[in-house]
Structure 1
Amino acid sequence: MVKIGDIEIGEFPLLLAPMEDVSDPPFRAVCKENGADLMYTEFISSEGLIRDAAKSLQKLDIYDYERPIGIQIFGDKIESMREAAAIAEEANPELIDINYGCPVKKVACKGAGAGILLDIPKMEEMTAEIVKRVEKPVTVKTRLGWDHDTIKIIEVAKRLQGVGIQALTIHGRTRAQMYKGEADWSLIEEVKNHPDIHIPIFGNGDIDSPEKAKLYRETYGVDGIMIGRAAIGYPWIFNEIKHYFATGEILPPPTLEQRIETVKSHLKFSVEWKGDKKGIFEMRRHYTNYFRGIQGIKPYRARLVETPTFEDTLLVLDEIGEVFGAVGV
């Protein structure tokens, strides 16, 4: 049984990655229903929390059905990160996670996210201060290094473990790679198998099928897998992986009816959480992925994106079911 502190998260947990503008409560709801074992909020700006910025505070919303869940924070100032961790802890998650992996320019080039990989002593000091500031377990998500020439992930893992983190997720790319090229899990394996490392090590990057999840589990020996982009519009991936682990069988893909019901559930929660206008608008980014691969769906996807009300969106979804269900999709 894998544990983070006293939190049991399964024999081989599947984690939902914290993704900006994706991993909100409505999306987490459908992932939890479909087998995710541990989830994280979108990353939250430490400066935003300290300033009581509405967008940052809303990201602290968590619900009992989501548990266990971690709140992820990012920033470049140690004192701000300490205080943000304390604010996040008041929302009562199971753990506090630190983002040392975000590669986007506006974050990393200011010394936050993956940018702190250029200053490992500061990373260690910041982590130590956060661990001392909160009572909840502290975990970290990071990358292999800033670029190929600065990969020191074993040193990073040892130093962060030394100051008290209780689990580490490693994305198998450098910041310079962004999301291009193939993730290098061999370096994640080196961390996991290092004799000085005893905290859970989770791997992240390129897991998009049950077969690949099983292969990477057996090849690299990690304690669990974090899944990000492959779950967008396809939350069924968690249960598909679990079923494959247990039986060696590939589940059939979700039916059109299942897709539509999940979209409706996701949309309903989005509207309840964000209000009609914003809930409908932010749901639009998901339709392409939910209906990927259905021949002739494009005009209906366009209508979903253009439809302004909750009730009319439901009508379009029902029409998709009638039209494409009739042809056996």
Structure 2
Amino acid sequence: MVKIGTIELPDFPLLLAPMEDVSDPPFRRLCKLHGADLMYSEFISSEGLIRDAMKSRQKLDIFDYERPVGIQIFGGDEEAMALSAKIVEAVNPDIVDINFGCPVKKVVCKGAGAAVLKDVDLMVRLTKAVVDSTHLPVTVKTRLGWDENSINIYEVAERLQDVGIKALSVHGRTRAQMYKGEADWTEIARVKNNPRMHIPIFGNGDIDSPEKALEYKDKYGLDGIMIGRAAIGYPWIFNEIKHYMATGKHLPAPTLEDRVEAARNHLTWAVDWKGERVGVFETRRHYTNYFKGIPNFKEYRQKLVSTDGLQDLNLILDDVLQKFGEGQAV
């Protein structure tokens, strides 16, 4: 069993990474259904929360069926981070997570996300401000360092643990790498093997198959794995990894029926959450992923991303089943 504060997770848990414009409640619900053990919200700007920005507030929506769930915040100001942690606490998540890893320019330019890797003292102060302002367990997601000449995750991990974080997730790339090249898990393992460390350490980056998950589990000895991009359009990856680790065998690939069901659920839950117009619009970006690899699907993809009504979209999904055949593995 792995513990984050008082939260109990199974041995070697699989975490869903927080992803902007992806990790919303409908997507998290699908991943939970298919085996994710712990999930995080999309990251939320501390300044946006304090300004009561509607988009930021909506990202605070969590539901009991997805627990345990963490809400992730980012920012570069101690007072704003402390205040936003109190706002987050009011909606009663299981965890408050801090993003010190986002590499995108609009976040880094504000001195937040991965930018904080350039100033470890600031990172420590921001983290302490959050820890001191909430009774919830605080976790951190970060990267190895700013660039290959400043990989500082070993020091970062010790210092963040010292100010009270309860778990650390590390993406095995620097900010300079963005999402290019191969993730380096040796530095994450170094953190885990540091005798001073006693909190769970989770690895993130490049896990896209059951084989790789098992290989990295055995090779690096971390407490669990965080999966991001590989789960987009493929929530089945969590149960596939668990089954392979337990049995050495693969679960059957999702059938076309499974894919249609996932797309339909995602659409229905998005509409339930945000209303028909916004729910339909926000689900469009996912159809390409759910039906990836199906030959001659272009016409249906075009219909799915250009149709406005829930009822009409469900009819198109019915047509997909008839046209491409129920029960077919794809």
- Residue 129 (structure 2) pairs with residue 129 (structure 1): yes
Matched pairs, number: 329
- Residue 117 (structure 2) pairs with residue 88 (structure 1): no
Moved over 6 A (4+): none
Match of 2:56 in 1: 56
Match of 2:151 in 1: 151
Aligned equivalents of 1:156 and 1:9: distance in 2?
Answer: 24
SS of corresponding position for 1:41: strand
Distance change (3 Å), C-alpha of 1:170 and 1:88: same
Aligned equivalents of 1:170 and 1:11: distance in 2?
Answer: 18
Aligned equivalents of 2:299 and 2:243: distance in 1?
Answer: 34
Aligned equivalents of 1:123 and 1:197: distance in 2?
Answer: 18
- What aligned pairs does 1:198-277 form with structure 2 within 5 A after superposition? 198-277=198-277
Does the CA contact (< 8 Å) of 2:257 and 2:327 recur in 1? no
Give 1:326 deviation, angstroms: 6.5
Does the CA contact (< 8 Å) of 2:255 and 2:326 recur in 1? no
TM-score, normalised relative to structure 2: 0.99
Distance change (3 Å), C-alpha of 1:13 and 1:274: same
SS of corresponding position for 1:98: strand
Match of 1:46 in 2: 46
**Mind listing any 5+ residue stretches in structure 2 that lack a counterpart?**
none
SS of corresponding position for 2:42: coil
Q: For 1:56, give the aligned amino acid.
A: S
Match of 2:300 in 1: 300
Distance change (3 Å), C-alpha of 1:79 and 1:184: same
Does the CA contact (< 8 Å) of 2:256 and 2:327 recur in 1? no
Aligned equivalents of 1:297 and 1:253: distance in 2?
Answer: 19
Give 1:169 deviation, angstroms: 0.2
Aligned equivalents of 1:124 and 1:223: distance in 2?
Answer: 23
Give 1:240 deviation, angstroms: 0.2
Give 1:252 deviation, angstroms: 1.6
SS of corresponding position for 2:169: strand
Give 1:85 deviation, angstroms: 0.5
**Which stretch of the first structure deviates more once superposed, 250-259 or 318-327?**
318-327
Aligned equivalents of 1:101 and 1:305: distance in 2?
Answer: 31
Aligned equivalents of 1:63 and 1:327: distance in 2?
Answer: 32
Match of 2:29 in 1: 29
SS of corresponding position for 1:42: strand
Match of 1:77 in 2: 77
Give 1:195 deviation, angstroms: 0.9
Aligned equivalents of 1:222 and 1:328: distance in 2?
Answer: 37
Q: For 1:51, give the aligned amino acid.
A: R
- Residue 53 (structure 2) pairs with residue 19 (structure 1): no
Give a deviation string over 1:9-39, Cα, whole Å, max 9, x none.
Answer: 1111000000000000000010000000000
Give a deviation string over 1:235-258, Cα, whole Å, max 9, x none.
Answer: 000000000011000112100011
Give a deviation string over 1:92-130, Cα, whole Å, max 9, x none.
Answer: 000100000000001012210000000000100111111
Give 1:228 deviation, angstroms: 0.3
Does the CA contact (< 8 Å) of 2:255 and 2:327 recur in 1? no
Distance change (3 Å), C-alpha of 1:326 and 1:23: closer
Aligned equivalents of 1:299 and 1:49: distance in 2?
Answer: 41
Does the CA contact (< 8 Å) of 2:257 and 2:328 recur in 1? no
Aligned equivalents of 2:328 and 2:128: distance in 1?
Answer: 57
Match of 2:288 in 1: 288
Give a deviation string over 1:244-279, Cα, whole Å, max 9, x none.
Answer: 011000112100011111111110000111111111
Does the CA contact (< 8 Å) of 2:255 and 2:328 recur in 1? no
Percent same amino acid at aligned positions?
A: 66
Distance change (3 Å), C-alpha of 1:309 and 1:217: same
Aligned equivalents of 1:68 and 1:205: distance in 2?
Answer: 22
Aligned equivalents of 1:185 and 1:306: distance in 2?
Answer: 41
Give a deviation string over 1:218-247, Cα, whole Å, max 9, x none.
Answer: 000010000000000000000000000110
SS of corresponding position for 1:225: strand
SS of corresponding position for 2:313: helix
Give 1:328 deviation, angstroms: 4.3
Give 1:298 deviation, angstroms: 1.2
**Mind listing any 5+ residue stretches in structure 1 that lack a counterpart?**
none
SS of corresponding position for 2:71: strand
Match of 1:189 in 2: 189
Aligned equivalents of 1:219 and 1:327: distance in 2?
Answer: 37
Aligned equivalents of 1:158 and 1:111: distance in 2?
Answer: 22
Match of 2:99 in 1: 99
- Residue 167 (structure 2) pairs with residue 167 (structure 1): yes
SS of corresponding position for 1:178: coil
Q: For 1:316, give the aligned amino acid.
A: I
SS of corresponding position for 1:43: strand
Give 1:281 deviation, angstroms: 0.7
Q: For 1:319, give the aligned amino acid.
A: D
SS of corresponding position for 2:165: coil
